[in-house]
Amino acid sequence: MTLLKQTSYQPLTEAAAIQLALSLNIFTENAELVCKEIGDGNLNLVFHLVDEQAGKGLIIKQALPYAKVVGESWPLTLKRAKFEADALKIFGQIAPAYVPEVYFTDDILAITVMEDLSHLLIARTGVIKGETYPLLSKHLGEYLAKTLFFTSDYGLGLSAKKEQVQKFINPELCKITEDLIFTDPYFDAETNEFEDGLRAEVDALWQDEELKFHVNVLKRSFLTEAEVLLHGDLHTGSVFANNEETKIIDPEFAFYGPAGFDIGQVIANLLFQVIVNESKRDLFINHIETVWIVFEDQYTHLWNTENKEILAKTSTFLNYQLSKFFEDALGFAGCELIRRTIGLAHVADLDGIEDEHKRLAAKRKTLELGEVLIKQRKEINNLPSFIFKVKGVL
Ligand code: SR1
Ligand code: MG
């Protein structure tokens, strides 16, 4: 098929996506495919193709050579499509219930062809619309326990893990996180975006040496601690859900980093709903508690039954690991809260609040909670104290 023989990259059109899909023998030769570009993320093209007669569909995701959220002035490596496809395959083997199936990849076109998830909704969009997703947190807790255990030294074995670390050296995408989460929000960087009404809070944050010290400690952890294969961008925009199913997509930021980073991003993105959605506050607090409880329970089970490190298989060392993950997760959650409020790439949970007074109040609480979690993550060393702190800020 001509497109797949291409030796150079070209962005797909809807017509080209149909041509490509037909060449993959997933649909019948004469299938009449309808294709729509539905990408609403920050970086990629996403084509949804359907054979309405057969009731069958698929997704073709293609990386663009620049960050869509900014424009062509921000070039971005196409290699991220391979990182994403490779990570999807690994996570799919570890936690098949929660990861879309990959049918085909092409490194030159930077595409991943995968399972159609159009019966689900992006979880961020869903919760903003009022969905409660009763199983979301149980599923996320289980996904985190399995992926963060089976990609670690303890679940994978020391040599296999080192080989995997090598394959997931992902400097370009890590640089985005290093800048946008751990650096830019803490000084007057061009990438920052915040409303005039937050000027006083932002000025205070830029002057807060204690906060910046703690962010540097967390950044060092992100830079140096190759604990597990992270999804790397596990916010609620990377999760498809309905009341029964949850699928985690978009691991293009995958690399070996500290386990608490994925857990923290999940917690932070559920916290946005705790902050903005007063009528469902307890429900989302409950979701956060469930994520951690299920994670802890399943990780403990895997630690005791699948651990490849004989001498590490003690409850003392397990407790040390879990305490570290919890502390790191709170710190990283705090960084995510702050960056999504004043840095680049905001969230609709906050920006979608129409009333300016309410929106600014929610953003102030988000910044305050972010600072508390970053600075006090060591002292808040259990779930009840964490929930108590959250409620204290609301
Ligand atoms: C330039 S990329 C901005 C953000 O979009 C991605 O989803 C990541 O969250 C990244 O930080
Ligand atoms: Mg993404």
What are the tens digits of pLDDT across the range 319-348? 999 999 999 999 999 999 999 999 999 999
CATH code of the domain occupying 3-115: 3.30.200.20
68 falls in which pLDDT band (50, 70, 90)?
Answer: confident
First CA to last CA distance, the chain:
57
Q: What angle do CA 238, 292, 375 make, to 5 degrees?
A: 90
On the question of pLDDT at 224 being above 70, the answer is yes
Range(s) of the chain covered by CATH 3.30.200.20: 3-115
pLDDT at 4 over 70: no
- For the Cβ of 176 lying below 6 angstroms from any atom of ligand 1, the answer is yes
How many Å apart are CA 376 and CA 394, to the nearest integer?
A: 17
Distance CA 348, CA 340 (A): 10
Please tell me the least confidently modeled range out of 13-17, 38-42, 140-144, 208-212.
38-42
* CB 83, CB 252: distance < 8 Å: yes
**Pocket lining: 192 vs ligand 1, CB cutoff 6 Å:** no
Q: What is the pLDDT of residues 188-200, one digit of tens each?
A: 999 999 999 999 9
User: Residue 83 pLDDT > 60, yes or no?
Assistant: yes
Amino acid letter, residue 369: L
Map tokens 């089976």 to a residue: 150
Amino acid letter, residue 233: D
User: Using CA positions, which residue lies closest to atom 9 of ligand 1?
Assistant: 233
pLDDT at 157: 98
For ligand 1, the distance from its centroid to the CA atom of residue 293, given in whole angstroms, is: 28
> Does ligand 1 come within 6 angstroms of the Cβ of 193?
no
pLDDT at position 3 is: 66
Per the CB < 8 A criterion, the answer to whether 49 and 35 are in contact is yes
**pLDDT tens column, 270-325:** 999 999 999 999 999 999 999 999 999 999 999 999 999 999 999 999 999 999 99
CB 354 within 8 A of CB 362: no
CA-to-CA distance for 115 and 86, rounded, in angstroms? Answer: 15
Q: Could you say which ligand is closest to the alpha carbon of residue 69? A: 1
Over range 211-228, report the average pLDDT.
Answer: 98
Residue 2, pLDDT > 90, answer no
- How many CA atoms lie less than 13 Å away from 373 in the CB half-sphere? 31
Find out whether the beta carbon of 19 lies less than 6 Å from any atom of ligand 1. Answer: no
Q: What is the pLDDT of residue 203?
A: 98
Question: Residue 284, CB half-sphere, CA atoms under 13 Å: how many?
Answer: 25
Domain with CATH 3.90.1200.10 in the chain: 121-393
In the numeric block, the tokens 């967390």 are attached to: 218
Q: What is the DSSP string of 67-132?
A: ETTTEEEEE--TTHHHHHHHHHHHHHHH-GGGSPPEEEEETTTTEEEEE--TTSEEHHHHHHHT--
- Residue 69: per-residue pLDDT: 83
Predicted confidence at residue 5, as pLDDT, reads: 66
Residue 26 DSSP SS3: coil
pLDDT-derived band at 71, boundaries 50, 70, 90:
confident
Cα angle, residue 244 at apex, residues 366 and 273 outer, rounded to 5°: 10
pTM for this entry:
0.96
Name the residue with the closest Cα to ligand 1, atom 5: 42
pLDDT of residue 40: 82
Residue nearest to atom 1 of ligand 1 (CA): 67
DSSP secondary structure of 174-215: HHHHHHHTTTGGGTT-TT----GGGHHHHHHHHH-HHHHHHH
pLDDT attached to residue 220: 98
The percent helix, strand, coil of the chain (3-state, each to 5) is 60, 15, 30
Q: Which residue reads 């899909």 in tokens?
A: 21
Whole-number Å distance, alpha carbon 345 to ligand 1 midpoint, is 6
Counting atoms of ligand 1 from 1, which one is nearest the CA of 339?
11
CA triple 66-176-335, angle to 5 deg: 140
Do the Cβ atoms of 112 and 118 come closer than 8 Å?
no
- pLDDT of 262 > 60? The answer is yes
Q: For residue 57, is pLDDT > 60?
A: yes
Ligand 1 contact, 180 CB (< 6 A): yes
69 within ligand 1 shell (Cβ under 6 A): yes
Residue nearest to atom 4 of ligand 1 (CA): 345
Give me the residue label for tokens 């840095």: 343
For the CA of 74, the closest atom of ligand 1 is 1
Helix or strand run (H / E) with residue 372: helix 356-376
Instruction: Please name the CATH architecture into which domain 121-393 falls.
Output: Alpha-Beta Complex (3.90)
Distance 200 CA to ligand 2 centre (A): 31
Higher pLDDT, residue 72 or 244: 244
Q: What is the DSSP string of 287-316?
A: HHHHHHHHHHHHHHHHHHHH-S-GGG-SHH
Q: Is the pLDDT of residue 256 over 70?
A: yes
- Span 117-149, pLDDT tens digits: 999 999 999 999 999 999 999 999 999 999 999
**Main-chain phi, psi angles of 318, to 5 degrees:** -60, -45
Q: What is the Cα–Cα distance from 29 to 285, expressed in whole angstroms? A: 50
Which atom of ligand 1 is closest in space to residue 180's alpha carbon?
11
Range 218-242 average pLDDT: 98
**Average per-residue pLDDT in the chain?**
96
| Closest to 291 in 3D by CA, of 142, 121, 151, 146 | 142
Distance CA 78, CA 7 (A): 14
Ligand closest to CA 238:
2
Which helix (H) or strand (E) segment holds residue 45: the answer is strand 44-51
